[in-house]
Amino acid sequence: MTLTGRNIIGGRPEGEGTAFRAVAAATGREIEPTFHAATADDVDRACALADQAFDAYRETDPERRAAFLEAIAQAILDIGDSLIVRCMEESGLPRARLEGERGRTVGQLRMFAGVLREGSFLGVRIDPALPDRQPLPRPDLRLRNVAVGPVAVFGASNFPLAFSVAGGDTASALAAGCPVVAKAHPAHPGTSELVGAAVAKAAAQCGMPEGVFSLLFDDGIVVGQRLVSDSRIAAVGFTGSRTGGTALMKLAAERPVPIPVYAEMSSINPVVLLPDALASRGGAIGKAFVGALTLGSGQFCTNPGLVLAVEGAGLDAFLSGAAAALEGVAAQTMLTPGIHRTYCAGVAALEANEAVTLLARGRGGGETQGQAALFATSAAAFLADHRLEAEVFGAASLVVRCRDIGEIRAVLARLEGQLTAALHMEPGDHEAARALLPMLERRVGRILVNGFGTGVEVGHAMVHGGPYPATSDGRTTSVGSLAIQHFLRPVCYQDLPDTLLPRELQQANPLGIPRRIDGRHEA
Amino acid sequence: MTLTGRNIIGGRPEGEGTAFRAVAAATGREIEPTFHAATADDVDRACALADQAFDAYRETDPERRAAFLEAIAQAILDIGDSLIVRCMEESGLPRARLEGERGRTVGQLRMFAGVLREGSFLGVRIDPALPDRQPLPRPDLRLRNVAVGPVAVFGASNFPLAFSVAGGDTASALAAGCPVVAKAHPAHPGTSELVGAAVAKAAAQCGMPEGVFSLLFDDGIVVGQRLVSDSRIAAVGFTGSRTGGTALMKLAAERPVPIPVYAEMSSINPVVLLPDALASRGGAIGKAFVGALTLGSGQFCTNPGLVLAVEGAGLDAFLSGAAAALEGVAAQTMLTPGIHRTYCAGVAALEANEAVTLLARGRGGGETQGQAALFATSAAAFLADHRLEAEVFGAASLVVRCRDIGEIRAVLARLEGQLTAALHMEPGDHEAARALLPMLERRVGRILVNGFGTGVEVGHAMVHGGPYPATSDGRTTSVGSLAIQHFLRPVCYQDLPDTLLPRELQQANPLGIPRRIDGRHEA
C-alpha cells in the first residue's frame, strides 16, 4: 500500500492541513511522504461522524463487534512486512521487537473479541419484580453497561503498534461499543496510516457505520486539544508523558461537560532486593536486571528505574553483576531525537548530582542512540532530593543503598504512585516482604516477585495502572480485558416490557450471557 | 443520649471551634445544643487517624466488616425514637417518612453486609501460570480489588439518615474497606451526632481501629474544603447542589494528587407521556404524577420536574387530573429556610416568565412551607430559553406542550444528563417508545415505564447516577450494591508465593468467594 499522508475520516483519506514529515529514528532525517495535519474542520467532521455512528454501533450485537475486531487483526496481518519495515524506520525499534508487538496487537484485538462473546463485560444484573412485597411492591429492575460515547485515543510513541492506532485503548473502546477518533503519534505517522487503513478496511468489510473510526494527524498538540475539547467526545485514552497527560486531564476537567481521561503517564517501578535473595544470587539478579533495564533501550513505562537494597556483600554482588552486564550492552536507537535528548539530559543531571555516583555505563553509540547508565545514591540523599524520584525515560536506573530495611520503608513511603513494584526474595525474606506488601498495595498497580515489570501480560488478571501520577485514574487498567470498563457506564431499566428491553436484558437471555439475579451469579 | 455538640474524632467527642446551632425547619428558630465546627486541627486529626486506620481496616476479613455494618444498623435502631424526634425537628420531615428512611438506612447497611459475604465485589481474577507456553512462559497473575483509602462523605440535606452520616456513601465506603470522615450537614447536626455516636459505638464494639470513622461539624464550607484538600483523603462522596458538587470537583482536580469525587447533583427527570397512555388514562396519570411530585415537598433528586407530551384531549385530561389533585395538596415544611427561599425564587421566576403559564398551585401554608406548583410552556419556548431547564428543588414541575413527537425528541435532545427518565405508555406506544430509548440511554442513568423515579429501590440492579451534571461521574451509581465500586481499585499480584497472597487470592480460596479463572466464572 502506498502512503497518502492524509487523515482517514469516516473511511476516506482527507486533509489539506499543515504539512509535516516523519523522521527516521536512526538518522534524524525526514522521510517521505508528506503528511497533512488535521484542520479544525477535519476534527469536527471526524467527531460528527463518530457521534452519528454511535447509536448504531453501540447496539451492534457483541458477536458482530467481535467479528469486526478479528477483521481488524487480520487486516493488520495482511499489510505484511511493509508495516514492520516502515515501523522500524520510524521508531528505530528492531524487527524482532516489532514482530512481537504486532503479535501482541493482534492478540489484544482477538482477546477483546473473546470478551465480547463471553459477555460478562455487560455487567447484567436483574432484580425481578416482587409485586406482593410489603409495604411496597418491588419493580422489575435490570442493569446493563452501555458504551459511554465516542472516544479519543492518543497513539503512544513507545508502542507504535500495541498502544497506538489499533492498540489497547482502541481495541477496548471498539469492544465496548464506542467509535474511536485516533490521533496518530507524530513519531510514526506512516505506521499509523497503514494500521488506520487496515481498521477502515475492516470496518467497511464488516458493514460498520462509517464514523466508527477516524485517524487524525498532527505534528503538534492542537489537534489533540481540539479532540479532547469537542463536546461529542466522551472519554480519552492516552499513553505518554506526565506533561501531556496532565494537560489533557486539565482540559477535560474544564469542559462544560467534564469527561474521564485515562492517561498512563510515568513510573519508576521500584525494585526491592531482599537480603536472602541478594545473598544467594545477587550477581544473577544483577545480570537479569540489566536485561530488563536495557530492553528496547529502556523505553517502557514499566522500566525498572529504581532499585532498593540493604548494603552488604549481596548488594555488592548484584552491582558487580549488573555493571559487568551493562558494560556489554550496545547503545540502541531511541524512538525520536527528542526522546534521546531528554534521556541524555536526565542522565547528565544524575551525573552532575553530587550525591549520585555513576556505577557503570553501556557502550557508546551514534547521536540518536541511548547509552545505558546505572547510578547509585544513599537513602538519605534520595530522601533529601525530590529530583531523584523523576523518571528518566530510557535505560537509566538508580540504586539506593539503604542501611537497613527501615530505610527501604522510608524510601517506599516517599514514592509517588507507580505502575509496578518488584520484590526479589527467597523463603527467608518472606516476613520482610509481608511487611512491605501493604505499602506497595497503596502505591502500585502490580506487585511482582522475582521478576521485572517490563513484560506486561495481556490477560484477564493484569493491571497496568496505578495511583496518580502513574496514571490519571488508579481505579483502572489499560492492559488486559478489564480495560473495557474504561468505556462503559451502567443504565437501569425499570418495568420495561420485555419487547422493549435490549436483548442483553430480555428474560429469555437470547444472547446467553452471564447474569446476576438478585445479586447472585446465575448458575 | 444527650447531645454534646462536639465532633467525633476517632470515637471521642472533641472540638472547641466556632459555635452554631441547628434550626428547627418548621419555625426557623435555633434549637439546643450548641455545636462546634471542626477546626483545622480537628480535620487534620480525623484524617491522620483515618490514614493510620486504613491498612488494618482494609485487611479485615469481609465477614468482620459485615458484622461491623450490621452493628451500625443495630446501634442506629437502638437510639430509638429520640432519633426520629430530633430529625423531625431539624428537617421538618414527617414521622412516617423518617421511620421509612431509617428502615432504608438500616437496610442499606445490611445489604452491604450481604455484598461483603457474597464476595464478588473483590473482582477476583486468576490467570494461572503457563510455564511451558511458547515463546514465553506466562506468569501467575492474580487480581483483587482493594480499598482506595480514607473517604470524605458529605451528608445530604434531603436524606438526613439514608444519605448522611451512616447513609449510602458511608455504608459503601466502609464495606469497601475505607475509613470514613463524615461531614455533617448543618441542617441536621443533632441527627448527625446521634447517628455518628452509633457508628462510633459499633466500631468500638467490633474492635475496629479508632480512626475508622470520624464526624465533623461545620455550618459553612471551610471544613469540607479542608477535607477534600487533605492529602490523606482518597475519594469523596457528595449529594447536594450543583454549585457545591462542582466546587468540590474543581478542588479535587487541582490537588497535587487529584482524587475522584462522586457527586450526585441535580436532575429534572423528564417524564414522557405517550399518546395511547394519555388517551386511555390521562387523568389517572395526572393524579399519580402529583403524588410523586409533592412527596416530601418535592425534595428528591428524582422529583419529576419536566413533563413532555403531545397536545390533545389526552394531555388535557392529564392536566385536569393533575390540577385537581394539586389544588388539594397541603403545603409542607421544607428542609431549611434557605431551601424554601430558593424554591420560592425558582417558582417566582417561572411565574414571571412570559412564555410560561401557571396551571395550578397547591394549598398555601406557613412561611417555611413549600406550596406546590405546576406550570406549562411550549416546546418552542423551552428550546429558546435555557433557564427553563434549571432544576427548581421542590414540588414544582413544568409541562412542555409539544405539537408532535418530533418536538418531544427535540426537547430530549437538548437536555443535560439526568438521573431518570420515565415513559408512560400502552402497547400502542411501544414503537414510539422504542425510537426514544437510544436518546434516553445516552442521557440518563435509569429509564422507567409507567411510574415515576421518586422511589429508588436499594438493590443490585439499581442505578442512581447518570451523565454530568446529574452526577460528576456517570460511570457509577450511588444507590445499590454496585456503589461499592466507587471506593475500590484493582491490584495485580504476579508470581507471589501462596503464603504471601491475600486470602482472597490464595489457591485454596479459603474465603470461598466467586473467582474468574482465565476470564471465566468458576462454576
A504 is catalytic: no
The whole-number pLDDT of residue B24 equals 97
Which strand ranges, in their side-by-side order, compose the sheet holding B306-310? A520-521, A516-517, A125-127, A141-147, A488-494, B444-449, B418-424, B270-273, B306-310, B396-402, B373-378, B357-361
- The domain A51-265+475-486 having CATH identifier 3.30.479.10: the answer here is no
Q: Is residue B477 a contact partner of residue B464, using CB atoms and an 8 Å limit?
A: yes
Q: Which residues contact A418 (CB under 8 A, 6 or more apart)?
A: A267, A268, A269, A270, A443, A444, A445, A466, A467, A470
Q: Which of B47, B87, B178, B301 is catalytic?
A: B301
Q: Has residue B523 got a pLDDT over 80?
A: no
Q: Has residue A177 got a pLDDT over 80?
A: yes
Locate the chain B residue with the closest alpha carbon to A232: B442
The whole-number pLDDT of residue B15 equals 79
pLDDT band at A331 (very low <50, low <70, confident <90, very high): very high
Q: Do domains B7-15+32-265+475-486 and B270-449 have the same CATH topology?
A: no
B477-503 mean pLDDT: 97
Q: Which residues contact A75 (CB under 8 A, 6 or more apart)?
A: A198, A199, A201, A202, A205
Give A497→chain B minimum CA distance, Å.
8
Residue B68 neighbours by CB distance under 10 Å: 26
Interface membership of B255 toward A (CB under 8 Å) = no
Among A114, A433, A451, select the one facing B494 at the smallest CB separation.
A451
Q: Is residue B329 a contact partner of residue B294, using CB atoms and an 8 Å limit?
A: yes
Q: What is the pLDDT of residues B160-174, one digit of tens each?
A: 999 999 999 999 999
A264 is catalytic: yes
The whole-number pLDDT of residue B175 equals 98
Cross-chain residue pair A491–B520, CB shorter than 8 Å: no
Chain B residues whose beta carbon lies within 8 Å of the beta carbon of residue A59: 438
Cα distance between residue B279 and residue B275, in whole Å: 6
B498-506 mean pLDDT: 97
Q: What is the pLDDT of residues B102-137, one digit of tens each?
A: 999 999 999 999 999 999 999 999 999 999 999 899
Among A138, A461, A474, select the one facing B489 at the smallest CB separation.
A474
Among A136, A465, A500, select the one facing B437 at the smallest CB separation.
A500
Look at residue A107 and give its three-state secondary structure: helix
Torsion over CA of A377, A383, A385 and A387, rounded to 10 degrees?
80
Interface membership of A446 toward B (CB under 8 Å) = yes
Q: Which of A47, A87, A301, A402 is catalytic?
A: A301
Window 386-445 of A: residues touching B by CB (8 A cutoff) are 416-417, 427, 430, 433-434, 437-438, 441-442, 444-445
Q: What is the pLDDT of residues B187-240, one digit of tens each?
A: 999 999 999 999 999 999 999 999 999 999 999 999 999 999 999 999 999 999
B353 Rama class: left (phi>0) / alpha (psi -120 to 50) / beta:
beta
Residue A499 neighbours by CB distance under 10 Å: 10
Q: Which of A14, A90, A264, A407 is catalytic?
A: A264
The whole-number pLDDT of residue A124 equals 98
Cross-chain residue pair A120–B448, CB shorter than 8 Å: no
Looking at 3.40.50.1370, 3.40.309.10, 3.40.50.2000, 3.90.1300.10, the CATH number of the domain B270-449 comes to 3.40.309.10
Residue B101 neighbours by CB distance under 10 Å: 22
Would you give the distance in Å from CA B24 to the centre of its chain?
24
The whole-number pLDDT of residue A12 equals 84
A451-476 mean pLDDT: 96
In chain A, count of helices (H) and strands (E)? Answer: 14, 23
Cross-chain residue pair A461–B434, CB shorter than 8 Å: no
Helix (H) or strand (E) holding B33: strand B30-36
Nearest by Cα to A445 from A481, A414, A417, A483: A417
Per-chain mean pLDDT for chain A: 97
Give A360→chain B minimum CA distance, Å.
29
Locate the chain B residue with the closest alpha carbon to A468: B257
- Report the percent of chain B where pLDDT is more than 90: 96
Interface membership of B451 toward A (CB under 8 Å) = yes
pLDDT band at A1 (very low <50, low <70, confident <90, very high): confident
Show the cell assigned to A324: 559487568
Q: Write the DSSP assignment of A53-64 as a string of letters.
A: HHHHHHTS-HHH
Look at residue B274 and give its three-state secondary structure: coil
Interior angle at CA B162, CA B157 and CA B164, nearest 5: 50
The whole-number pLDDT of residue A11 equals 84
Helices (H), A254-404: 275-294, 313-327, 337-352, 379-384
Interface membership of B59 toward A (CB under 8 Å) = yes
Domain boundaries, chain A: 51-265+475-486, 270-449
Chain B residues whose beta carbon lies within 8 Å of the beta carbon of residue A441: 146, 491
Q: What is the pLDDT of residues A208-256, one digit of tens each?
A: 999 999 999 999 999 999 999 999 999 999 999 999 999 999 999 999 9
Among B416, B445, B495, select the one facing A492 at the smallest CB separation.
B445
A51-77 mean pLDDT: 98
pLDDT band at B16 (very low <50, low <70, confident <90, very high): confident
pLDDT band at A14 (very low <50, low <70, confident <90, very high): confident
Give B181→chain A minimum CA distance, Å.
19
Q: Has residue A523 got a pLDDT over 80?
A: no
Nearest by Cα to A319 from A309, A304, A329: A309
Q: Has residue B393 got a pLDDT over 80?
A: yes
Chain A residues whose beta carbon lies within 8 Å of the beta carbon of residue B434: 500
Burial class of A225 by CB neighbour count within 10 A (0 to 12, 13 to 18, 19+): middle
Looking at 3.40.50.1460, 3.40.605.10, 3.40.190.10, 3.40.640.10, the CATH number of the domain B7-15+32-265+475-486 comes to 3.40.605.10
Q: What is the pLDDT of residues A372-400, one digit of tens each?
A: 999 999 999 999 999 999 999 999 999 99
